[in-house]
Amino acid sequence: MRLLYGGLLAMALTIAFLLQEWMPALAAWTEALTGLPVHDAGWTRNARILLLAAFFFPAALTVSYPGMLALAFATGLLWDAREALVLEDDPTWMVQGTGWGGTLLLLLLLGSLIQGVRPLYQAGHWLIPLALCLPCIAILVVGEFTWNHVRSGSFALPPGFWGKAALTTFLTWLPAPLVLFLLTRGLAATGCEPAATPGFSR
């Protein structure tokens, strides 16, 4: 049964990855649907929904710790395969690349944090686990910037940094309840219903 749910998770992760590629940035959608020049206004700051993050944190609640680590590794690999800036050394352009691996460590730490409230989820309390997903996404978004930019220079934050980070975090968190609901249904459908932990009432 666990193997079946693992397969389901792998399929869902792939779908999240491809769906994230399919979805344009918020500004592009808003401009396409309303005609409002939101790029000129700049309030969207090119924010977009990071579906991989929106999938990982709820999914980390539904699996055991080793399962979470496997999920973190797969998610981190997919993330870096598309998000990391890898540049070949080229003196002509005088460009610098950024490293891989930071996302994996971040997901390890944040996934471990999420696992701490897994007993609440198993007992049927969703509010705190879902609320915890929000700061976890924020740390991932800000951590991605910090990991790559601190390595290449100063600590100075660009104007609009916190606005973009906040909007991206909130947009990314929005699908998390739906993801958790669907995964919980997936658990039930595959016969892996999470057992209630002693000390917590449903």
Partner 1 sequence: MRITHIVSIVLFLALAFWVASRSPHVKLRVQSAALAVASPFIKSGSAMEQRATAFRNEVRDSAELARENERLRRELDLLRIYSRDRSEIYDENRRLARALDYRERSAFNLLPARVIQRERNTWWSTVTIDRGFENGLAVGAAVIVPEGLVGRVITVAPSTSVILLLTDSHCKVAARTLGSLDLRAVVTGSRGNTGATPFLTMGPLPLDTEVESGRQVLTTGSGLVFPPNYPVGTIESIEQREFYSVAQVRPAADFKTLDQVFVVLSEKRGGES
How does DSSP classify residue 123? T
Sketch the per residue contact string, 49 through 88, with partner 1: x for CB under 8 A, - otherwise: -x--------------xx--x--xx--xxx-xxxxxxxxx
Per CB under 8 A, 156 contacts partner 1: yes
Per CB under 8 A, 90 contacts partner 1: yes
d(CA 155, CA 32) in angstroms, rounded, equals 36
How does DSSP classify residue 157? P
Shortest distance in whole angstroms from residue 116 CB to partner 1 = 12
> Distance from first CA to last CA of the chain, Å, rounded?
23
Shortest distance in whole angstroms from residue 127 CB to partner 1 = 26
Per CB under 8 A, 196 contacts partner 1: no
Map residue 103 onto helix, strand or coil.
Answer: helix
d(CA 67, CA 74) in angstroms, rounded, equals 11
Of 126, 140, 132, 138, the residue nearest 178 (C-alpha): 126
Stretch that binds partner 1, among 100-108, 130-138, 173-181, 190-198 (CB under 8 A): 100-108
Give the C-alpha distances (Å, rounded to integers) separating 53 from 45, 57, 92: 19, 6, 36
Tokens of residue 1, six digits: 């049964």
> What is the separation of C-alpha 80 from the centre of its chain, rounded to a whole number of angstroms?
12
Per CB under 8 A, 199 contacts partner 1: no
Cβ distance to partner 1 smaller for residue 28 or 182: 28
Per CB under 8 A, 195 contacts partner 1: no
Shortest distance in whole angstroms from residue 34 CB to partner 1 = 7
Cβ distance to partner 1 smaller for residue 60 or 164: 164
Residues 6-35 that bind partner 1 (CB under 8 A): 17-19, 21-25, 27-29, 31-35
Residues 124-153 that bind partner 1 (CB under 8 A): 141, 144-145, 148-149, 152-153
User: Is residue 106 a contact partner of residue 181, using CB atoms and an 8 Å limit?
Assistant: no
